[in-house]
A and B are shown apart, each in its own frame.
Chain A
Amino acid sequence: MIDFFQTSFSINKKQLLHPTDLQIVPNEFLVIMGANGAGKSTLLKLMAGLLKPSKGKINFENIDLTNYSAAELAKKRAVLSQHYQYAFPLTAKEIAMMGRYPFYNATPTVLDESIVCNAMEIMEVTNFANRSYESLSGGEAQKVQMSRVLAQMFTQNKEQKYLLLDEPVSHLDIKFQHQLLSIAKSIITPQTAVIAVLHDLNLALKYADRIIFMKEGSIIYEHKTSEDLPFALIKDVFGIDASLIEIPNQQRKLVVF
């Protein structure tokens, strides 16, 4: 469980997140949406422990997040960001193995090896395990990163784990977008939650259990995807008119701008 208690964050006197209360429990796919500069990434980075709250606090499993060391947090949550660029030749396998770094000391165990192989199989990147990361296309590279993050998410205990995705699909083609999000959705268990920052409202409506809409550093609306989306909200959050279209034979509706 992740609890925000009147958490705010400011940098250079500019308040990026106004005092916010938020609770995230396992077994849900939470999507954070909003226009650029609405504070989505700030919220996610606070959750990840990278940023420390300026005021208020965040509890992670009922303990103040700032009490965890980087090493402890790495065992409880994994983070996938938008894109990565390296100046060094690393193989896809070497990058995927980094997901197990928090769990082994000097050399990976047999279990670590099999977890990484498994993760790479799920992401369909086994074929280029030994290829240099630099030679991969944007989509392939992001899949390798996702397999790294999946390896980090693996657990045998019944402990709570969180997968944080910061605009994970922004530069991917449509097939990759759906593949990545449906795999993220598939790892949700009663102990696991996925929290993602997304830009595409239709993707969010398809995969999320709950969407929080942010504007100017505050959460202005929480939406359960089982309910109907209030129409006026879209204009308020994104500043653009939209229409909803019925999809034949499906419960959900499509948003068109």
Chain B
Amino acid sequence: MLKNNKILFPFLCLLLIGVIVFAIAFGAVLIQPNDMLLAMQHYFSGRHASSIEESVFLQLRLPRVLLCAITGAILSVSGVLMQGLFRNPIVEPGLIGTSAGAAFGASFVFVFASCFGSATQSLVGPLLVPLFAFAGGLICTFIVYQLSMNAKQTSITTILLVGIAINAIALSGTGFMSYLARDPQARSISFWNMGTFSGASWEQFLIVSLVALIVFIISFKEAKKLNALMLGEEEAYYLGVNTKRFKRKILIANTAMVAISTSFVGVIGFMGLIVPHVMRLVVGSDHKKLLPASMIAGAILLILADMGARLFLAPAEIPIGIITSIVGAPIYILLLKSNKFILIKGGLND
């Protein structure tokens, strides 16, 4: 474990800034750093962008990279939170139904939005998709959590098996929605199951980062309680944690941020698994260090993955979820093979 966190965190922050600039620069249009500065200058002085590079930077590249960063941070922090809650290091939002449920909720409202009538659409239209995504994600996560908790002796096997079932239901639900949908919608629905940042906008970035900010603050403040929970639920109670209320709070907050980001960019698997796993090796499992480290590292990794998605088959784009899965699934299998994690009973018996 790395003892010197004084070096680690500035290093991660610098790396993040570097990766952001790098990711903004490369794409179909190459943007020089001085174009970025000019565009900022023009924007803040209220003038219009003077070149195509500047508008690509402001309208497309910057919101995309920032949305990517915040989503990476969300998925990684969520992985840490879920692993703490299920007391097992191989849990992540993609495996326990949060993402798939959110995607189903989003696709449901996408297809049936017209049924809600134009009046409601104009009023709550922009919030309707995130709201249903939240409901879908929460229901699925709760079912997985409840079913694996009720078993007398809970192992990670139960969580994963229940997760598979719930994921299958949610995925086929999304599939059915895409079957019902007319053509242009259908395309975006199938993209939901694989994830993409191609539609990123400033509006999405602001909504997602607002929710993420609130959840990050809550979870960073609860780092101690998450640590205590590692000892087991009884021990956490003996150390002063109202475990029932705490678990509910973390579950809802976590689902909110994952569902809202999923409603905009789709399901991106394995991020919540890879990043916390690597960061545990670097900083250990103390959540006070693990949460911020995973947050920054997650942002860096997803920006890089999105660059891959944009550049590998340029000008075509690969769904980002495919890239994270190709990289993440083997790591997941490696984790499963070092089976000390499977043998340990989760702390889910209440």
**Which residues from 214 to 240 on chain B have a C-beta closer than 8 Å to any C-beta of chain A?**
224, 227-228, 230-232, 234-235, 237-240
* A79 near B235: Cβ-Cβ < 8 Å: yes
Question: Which of the segments A24-32, A86-94, A177-185, A249-257 contacts the partner chain?
Answer: A86-94
Q: How far is the CA of A86 from the CA of B87 in the complex (A)?
A: 8
Q: Which residue of A lies closest to B289 (CB)?
A: A94
Q: Does A152 contact B (CB under 8 A)?
A: yes
Q: Does B340 contact A (CB under 8 A)?
A: yes
* A70 near B242: Cβ-Cβ < 8 Å: yes
Q: How far is the CA of A98 from the CA of B231 in the complex (A)?
A: 10
* A74 near B88: Cβ-Cβ < 8 Å: no
CB distance from A7 to the nearest CB of B (A): 19
Known: A48-B238, A79-B235, A91-B1. A98 touches B344 (CB 8 A): no
Instruction: Give the size of the chain A interface in residues (CB under 8 angstroms).
Output: 32
* A89 near B240: Cβ-Cβ < 8 Å: no
Contact of A88 among B228, B234, B285 (CB under 8 A): B285
Q: Which residue of B lies closest to A85 (CB)?
A: B344
Q: Does B272 contact A (CB under 8 A)?
A: no
Known: A87-B344, A94-B284. A50 touches B239 (CB 8 A): no
CB distance from B206 to the nearest CB of A (A): 29
Q: Does A215 contact B (CB under 8 A)?
A: no
Interface residues on B, range: 20 to 34
Q: How far is the CA of A37 from the CA of B239 in the complex (A)?
A: 26
* B280 near A74: Cβ-Cβ < 8 Å: no
Known: A87-B340, A98-B228. A78 touches B238 (CB 8 A): yes
Q: How far is the CA of A69 from the CA of B246 in the complex (A)?
A: 13
Report chain B residues within 8 Å CB of A86.
Answer: 230-231, 344
Q: How far is the CA of A85 from the CA of B345 in the complex (A)?
A: 9
Report chain B residues within 8 Å CB of A88.
Answer: 89, 230, 280, 285
Q: Does A81 contact B (CB under 8 A)?
A: yes
Known: A94-B284, A98-B231. A89 touches B1 (CB 8 A): yes
* A87 near B239: Cβ-Cβ < 8 Å: no
Report chain B residues within 8 Å CB of A50.
Answer: 234, 237-238
Contact with B along A66-100 (1 / 0, CB 8 A): 00011111110111010011111111001100110
Report chain A residues within 8 Å CB of B89.
Answer: 87-88
CB distance from B199 to the nearest CB of A (A): 37
Most buried by A among B87, B232, B234, B239: B239
Q: How far is the CA of A50 from the CA of B234 in the complex (A)?
A: 7
Known: A74-B239, A81-B235. A91 touches B340 (CB 8 A): no
Q: How far is the CA of A49 from the CA of B238 in the complex (A)?
A: 8
Q: Does B341 contact A (CB under 8 A)?
A: yes
Q: Does B241 contact A (CB under 8 A)?
A: yes
Report chain A residues within 8 Å CB of B285.
Answer: 88-90, 94
Show 10 A/B contacts (Cβ-Cβ < 8 Å), sorted by A: A50-B237, A79-B235, A81-B235, A84-B231, A85-B345, A87-B341, A88-B89, A88-B230, A88-B285, A90-B285
Knowing that A86-B230, A98-B228, A102-B239 are A-B contacts, what are 11 other residue pairs whose CB atoms are under 8 Å apart, sorted by A's residue number? Answer: A78-B238, A84-B232, A86-B231, A88-B89, A90-B230, A90-B286, A91-B284, A95-B231, A98-B239, A99-B239, A101-B227
- B residues contacting A by CB (< 8 A) are 1, 3, 87-89, 224, 227-228, 230-232, 234-235, 237-243, 280, 284-286, 340-341, 344-345
